[in-house]
């Protein structure tokens, strides 16, 4: 592996760290890695196994012990994780607790679309509630009012790493017998009270796309403490099969040719018995290899993200006349994904983001803004609870900039300086 490290250096694989204000890009996010990831990924290639194997097993151990959760099911993306999490709740194996067509699911419209899409795919009705500014999470006062006889679940993301009010949401789910799905795609390492985001929901999801806290190129995970849900998620992920043999194993159940399933003939090979309408959403062991090396850096990544967030917050506080800065949820320690800003009346968001981009400072909107206004949502059955006033405000006036670990103090100081230049212009 010494050759890999040497080659990576010679080939200039690692980006240069020299920052030139106004010339070097300050992206909103990006991969942070070194030769550890390259060696671990290549080791997985050299093993010659490639589908789930020892690197995946190692990753599962690392991820479950970090989050303190019982089951981790790696998948090929955060969107797949969301799809599986929701699909699992529709499984016939859940009996009366199963989510069915036309059931309602409480969520928010200021979202990433693939948090909401699984609800639509299963012909359920997303019920959209408004969010708060400046924490950008659901307004929990609206939750109980929005519950009807048809409500079966709450499906919410921790917006940009800022945990939602877990206490209130959990209380209501318990009181009304609702499932809770936590989308933690942007919140790996965020804490509410003493526990990590992802350990509160019946099912929770993560993304390992390069923008996220750790990356595997593509990838994600579903986590749960519920044994039955784990079994269902594995079945759905792996073609819908009833068999639970690991790749490369046969007859784990010891009854491979001795069972009756559905209307199939007795003894039909268990390997080809399907108890769900499933998918194939698995990842590869090469992704696991890369993700294992990233896990060893996770604590440092979280520290650096939060350091960057604080430095930006301090520096931008002087522009309070123009900007609303983000606030964390009480009782939480976010692992920030991005630094979200809402411009106050009199400031044009597009002018500001164009100015920042001209100075090579990357900006992003809060994903779909108000998802009900997206082209694909035309004709999609949904309910808006009361109104989405703040959601629309975010769609029109908010954006976020980066805090990822590749951003240095020097870059942040430059970002703050550029904001200053913009506000000098608008005065």
Q: Which residues bind to ligand PLP, rule: CB under 6 A?
A: 77-79, 82, 112, 114-115, 157, 183, 185-186, 207, 209, 211, 220
Cα–Cα distance for residue pair 108/154, rounded to 1 Å: 10
What distance lies between CA 147 and its chain's CA centroid? 25
* φ, ψ at 254 (rounded to 5°): 65, 10
Strand partners, 36: none
Task: Tell me whether residue 209 or residue 279 sits nearer to ligand PLP (CB atom).
Answer: 209
- Strand (E) or helix (H) holding 287: helix 285-295
Task: Tell me whether residue 151 or residue 162 sits nearer to ligand PLP (CB atom).
Answer: 162
Task: Tell me whether residue 43 or residue 114 sits nearer to ligand PLP (CB atom).
Answer: 114
Whether 71 sits among the annotated catalytic residues: the reply is: no
Cα–Cα distance for residue pair 25/414, rounded to 1 Å: 11
Task: Tell me whether residue 79 or residue 204 sits nearer to ligand PLP (CB atom).
Answer: 79
Contacts of 42 (CB under 8 A, 6+ apart): 1, 4, 289
State the DSSP string of 39-52. Answer: HHHHHHHHHT--SS
Strand partners, 222: 73, 205
Cα–Cα distance for residue pair 134/324, rounded to 1 Å: 7
Number of CB atoms found within 10 A of residue 255's CB: 10
Contacts of 39 (CB under 8 A, 6+ apart): 1, 4, 5, 293
Q: What is the closest distance, in whole angstroms, from the C-beta atom of residue 197 to ligand PLP in the complex?
A: 11
Q: What is the closest distance, in whole angstroms, from the C-beta atom of residue 118 to ligand PLP in the complex?
A: 10
Cα–Cα distance for residue pair 183/222, rounded to 1 Å: 9
Q: What is the closest distance, in whole angstroms, from the C-beta atom of residue 291 to ligand PLP in the complex?
A: 12
Q: Which of 292, 84, 309 is nearest to 205 (CA)?
A: 84
Q: Closest residue to ligand PLP, Cβ-based?
A: 78
Give first-to-last CA distance, the chain, whole Å: 57
Cα–Cα distance for residue pair 184/182, rounded to 1 Å: 6
Catalytic entry in 71, 158, 212, 270: 212
Number of CB atoms found within 10 A of residue 191's CB: 18
Task: Tell me whether residue 39 or residue 198 sits nearer to ligand PLP (CB atom).
Answer: 198
Task: Tell me whether residue 130 or residue 183 sits nearer to ligand PLP (CB atom).
Answer: 183
Task: Tell me whether residue 329 or residue 422 sits nearer to ligand PLP (CB atom).
Answer: 329
Residues serving a catalytic function are 212
């Amino acid at each position: 592996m010494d050759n890999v490290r040497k080659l990576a250096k010679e080939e200039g694989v690692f980006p240069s760290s020299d920052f030139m204000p106004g010339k070097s890009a300050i992206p909103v996010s990006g991969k942070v890695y070194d030769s550890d990831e390259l060696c671990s990924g290549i080791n997985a290639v050299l093993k010659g196994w490639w589908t789930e194997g020892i690197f995946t097993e190692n990753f599962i151990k690392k991820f479950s012990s970090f989050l303190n959760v019982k089951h981790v099911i790696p998948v090929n993306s955060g969107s797949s994780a969301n799809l599986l999490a929701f699909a699992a709740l529709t499984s016939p194996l859940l009996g009366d607790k199963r989510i069915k067509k036309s059931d309602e699911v409480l969520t928010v419209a200021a979202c990433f679309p693939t948090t909401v899409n699984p609800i639509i795919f299963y012909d359920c009705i997303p019920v959209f509630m408004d969010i708060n500014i400046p924490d950008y999470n659901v307004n929990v006062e609206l939750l109980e009012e929005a519950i009807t006889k048809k409500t079966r679940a709450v499906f919410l993301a921790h917006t940009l790493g800022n945990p939602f009010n877990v206490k209130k949401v959990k209380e209501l789910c318990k009181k009304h017998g609702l499932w809770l799905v936590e989308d933690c795609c942007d919140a790996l390492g965020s804490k509410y009270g003493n526990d990590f985001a992802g350990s509160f929901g019946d099912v929770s999801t993560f993304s390992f796309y390069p923008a996220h806290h750790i990356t595997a190129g593509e990838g994600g995970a579903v986590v749960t403490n519920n044994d039955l849900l784990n079994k269902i998620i594995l079945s759905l992920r792996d073609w819908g099969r009833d068999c639970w043999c690991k790749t490369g194993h046969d007859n784990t159940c010891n009854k491979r040719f001795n069972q009756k399933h559905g209307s199939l003939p007795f003894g039909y090979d268990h390997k080809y018995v399907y108890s769900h309408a499933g998918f194939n959403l698995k990842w590869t062991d090469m992704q696991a290899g890369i993700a294992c090396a990233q896990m060893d850096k996770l604590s440092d990544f979280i520290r650096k993200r939060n350091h960057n967030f604080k430095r930006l917050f301090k520096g931008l506080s002087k522009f309070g006349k123009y900007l609303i800065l983000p606030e964390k949820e009480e009782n939480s320690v976010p692992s920030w994904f991005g630094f979200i800003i809402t411009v106050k009346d009199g400031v044009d968001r597009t002018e500001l983001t164009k100015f920042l981009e001209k100075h090579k400072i990357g900006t992003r909107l809060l994903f779909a803004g108000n998802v009900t206004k997206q082209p694909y949502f035309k004709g999609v059955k949904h309910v808006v609870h009361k109104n989405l006033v703040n959601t629309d405000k975010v769609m029109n006036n908010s954006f976020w900039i980066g805090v990822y670990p590749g951003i240095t103090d020097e870059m942040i100081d430059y970002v703050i300086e550029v904001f200053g230049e913009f506000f000098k212009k608008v005065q």
